[in-house]
Homo-oligomer: A and B are copies of this chain.
Amino acid sequence: MMARTSEPLDPKRPSSRKQRGATTILDVARRAGVSPMTVSRVVNGEKNVRPATRAAVLAAVKALNYSPNPAARSLAGAEAARIGLIYSNPSASYLSEFLVGALDEASRTSVQIMLEKCEATSAGERGAVRKLVASGAAGVILPPPLCESHDVLDELRISGLPTVAVATGRFGKGASCVRINDYAASREMTNYLFTLGHRRIGFIKGHPNQTASIEREKGFTSAFADAGFKLDPAMMVQGYFSYRSGLDAAETLLTLKQVPTAIFASNDDMAAAAVSVAHRKGLDVPGDLSVVGFDDTSIATNIWPELTTIRQPITAMAEVALDLVVQAIRNHKRSGGEAKSVDHLVTYSLIKRGSVASPKGAPKPAAE
């Protein structure tokens, strides 16, 4: 082989890379006559720095108009800020709004979101969590219905990742959550139907193992109890949040000897199914039957008549959730200790649309 000088040029010449004009921590350090480390300490508000030194550094910072490079900072280990988002049911409208919120907040706080879809099996759910952990997630947010999954929550607890569940009723369990007050919303809807004169109201329950279902049912029954109206047990039928289950439930309700004047479904899909069944039976909505839903998903406005329903501010909830995880991650890192989970309630709203009217032959609704 011939002579080779694999000497990497003159090591003194630092002029290899491009020059970005930004002032660095090194510039500040030189000007203040200290080491970069000390500057870092001052900038980050750590304590063990003599006031005089601190002042000198601060002066230099100001003079040079220095501001730390966030990329370098996060690279150096300050905060990783990659958070995972697991979803299972591509429940279209919900997921979309949720993503919009999460993304928006993510770009604002410059955290990276990692999406992970998972099958609704135990193995699938646990696998998704592990995959996220392996990818370096520092926290996780869970939209429904995963936020109710034992497998997911359990696996997350094992991994010790800060977790925020959205729209679950189940609070505690080591995860924070962001939700509306399903119970109160359901009561309010029921009372609204009361004020219109409805007394025979059919209720289609949600999936029995989701907490929100239970809350919504409780709100409904307690409204009856508090108003002193009698609630016929035959008016409560089981549903599972799917359109299909809504068809069956509505069929049951509308073939009773004494049919209801209104149907309150635990979500919009089932409410839409109820409208469809009513139409097939020749009933006018809302003339012969009022129908209300819950969630204000897109189907609520994609059918006719449009559904009166409860709106959850999904986008805002996702933003809050993301915010909470980021905070949790920060605490987790500094203190290392157990993060205490929080329960964040956001406000819902009752959206009045065309699927509701006073029952036929009823007295004019009482003024509110």
Contacts and interface: CB of A to CB of B under 8 A. Distances in A.
A115 B110 contact: no
B110 A18 contact: no
A238 to B, nearest CB: 18
A75 B269 CA distance: 47
B17 A67 contact: no
Contacts of A34: none
A71 interface: yes
B100 A103 contact: no
Given A75-B75, A96-B99, A99-B103, A114 B67 contact: yes
A154 to B, nearest CB: 19
A68 B133 CA distance: 15
A273 to B, nearest CB: 8
Contacts of A73: 71
Interface residues of A, number: 59
A66 B82 CA distance: 13
A8 interface: no
B107 A100 contact: no
Contacts of A117: 100
Contacts of A138: 20
Nearest to A66: B135
A67 B138 CA distance: 14
Contacts of A17: 77
Nearest to A17: B77
Nearest to A22: B136
Contacts of A22: 80, 82, 135-136
A21 interface: yes
B70 A72 contact: no
A90 B96 contact: yes
A134 interface: yes
A65 B302 contact: no
A121 interface: no
B110 A23 contact: no
Contact of A93 (B96, B104, B303): B96
A114 B110 CA distance: 10
Interface in A289-348: 297-299, 302-304
Contacts of A157: none
A127 B209 CA distance: 46
A92 B297 contact: yes
A118 interface: no
A280 interface: yes
A113 B133 CA distance: 23
Contact of A135 (B65, B96, B133, B134): B65
A215 interface: no
B298 A134 contact: no
30 contacts: A17-B77, A20-B136, A22-B135, A23-B134, A65-B134, A66-B135, A70-B112, A71-B72, A72-B75, A90-B93, A90-B97, A92-B92, A92-B93, A92-B97, A92-B297, A93-B96, A95-B96, A96-B96, A100-B115, A100-B117, A103-B113, A107-B114, A107-B115, A243-B302, A243-B304, A247-B304, A269-B302, A273-B304, A276-B276, A279-B280
Q: Which 4 A-B pairs have the closest CB atoms?
A: A22-B136, A96-B96, A92-B93, A92-B298
Given A243-B302, A243-B304, 12 more contacts: A20-B80, A23-B135, A67-B112, A67-B114, A70-B112, A71-B74, A90-B97, A92-B92, A95-B96, A269-B302, A276-B304, A279-B279
